[in-house]
Chain A
Amino acid sequence: MDMRRRQFLVSSAVIVGGVLLGTTMADLIAPAEGESFDGSPDGRFPNIVLHGHDGGAYRFYDDLIRDKIVLINMFFTGCGDICPLSTQHLVQAQEMLGDRVGRDIFMYSITLNPELDTEPVIRDYAETYGVGPGWLFLRASRDDTELLRRALGFVDPDPALDADLETHIGVVKFGNDAIGRWGACPSFADAEEIVAGVRTLDPIKRT
């Protein structure tokens, strides 16, 4: 596409308050390759192996993050009020995002307690909450979980709080690896706020 046409199309996609005018989600595509990620270095994700509630094994970066729009939260099945609340709100968010989940948007809930949250346990958990396709509950080794937790910023500067698993379950990161854009919001926020966050990850560009 020549520059002039591209600029015309870009300027015709006006977005106000997160709502697209004169274009639809389907018009949006990922941006062209070969543009640099100014100030957001590559390779910050440990490429550890995680196991999903579906029985699959996944490399964190290669299989779960690369070129995808993702939501990532940490949880454990034994947690008190917040994980059930977060999971319910994320289920609603999944419904609101419709068939994009599993197509270009993927959701990951990673257990902080891999010893207790075995594959059958997280499978039951996913079924209990009625999660749809495109959303994986995942477990890794204890060491890898710790590494991943830190890499994703689920940490607390207070060592006592950092050691408490419940400290790390209240935030969902959302990101688009293809354009290096990441944000976060509370995982137990209203689904509409979570979805508003995810919508900020769409590159504003038309074919």
Chain B
Amino acid sequence: MDTAVTQQRSMLSQLGAIDCDVHPDAPGREDLLPYFDDYWREIVTTRDVDRLELTNFPTRTKPFFREDWKATEGKGVEKLRKNLLDPYGLKYAILNCVTAVHAIYDPYLATAVCRATNDWLKAEWLDRDPRLRASLVLPMQNPEAAVEEIERFADDKRFVQVLTLCMGEMPLGRRTYWPVYEAAQRHGFALGVHAGSAYRHAPSQSGFLSYLAEDYVHQVQGFAAQVGSFVSEGVLGKFPDMKIVLIESGVSWLPGQMWRMSKDWRGARIEIPWVKESPSALVRRQIRMTTQPFDAPRDPAELERIIEHLDCDDMLLFSTDYPHAQFEGEAAIPAGFPERLIDRLVRENALATYPRLED
């Protein structure tokens, strides 16, 4: 292990780093069976509701499971400890369970699978390691049930965020979802928007793409559309205490969009007069981003320029995106990340983003 790696590791543990994007193995039917009631157990068994994995976010494929991590003995929490929690000395790791539940059409089945998934997260993960925190998986197909799910877990502070995808049924700013945001804000949850598509719509304006590589590139468009939607529908002003976290978004695309939206707002604001400040200001106040992947130029010296363009020291949250193959070795913090912001990156910003997370 070279010194840079050792240094990064010991720095992370000294600072009590919070990893804001860690993926548990996506649960299959066998994992979830104990958490369904008898009706849903019958349904998922008879009707083959089994491998709950998004085509767009296939967790068992090569890019989504780093070889060296995959090779580690063990499974579940045990494997996570060996690969991540122990070596990085993490204070907390926030589990984001990205599964095909978002793509299920039947709103009641989606709700049942969400409930089972959250119970499974609690029993199989949170209860087994005190460093773990998690996002609630929500059935956005059924906003009423999503609110109920938030209420069900309101007292379990280990759930710090509610989770949805950057490409779902509708732009997330729509009023349909506001009751969900109202409940989330009331209980101090952040809203996590994760990479992934339910394939309700093609990920590009020219249809479905041939390759996974292209599909992954297109996640940026989903995130950018959601930022535009949150701003222009007035969600940011309406729910000012709820942070929105863009998880696994790539980061460096955001300044360009802020520039364009703020420019356009000056001339087009009469379309959305409830947006009283420039979109950049709103985004900086309320939108947060995890840092893996970080689409940066090859030269680490350029990273500081991107950070300057973001112009918001509170925006970035440390993440490994475990177990995806995003970085080599242990270099989870993007090369060239400015020293002066490390503390914020690995800890402080997360604490400010997730009110349910205790220091």
Answer yes or no: are A and B bound together in one complex. Answer: no
A residues touching B (Cβ–Cβ < 8 Å)?
none
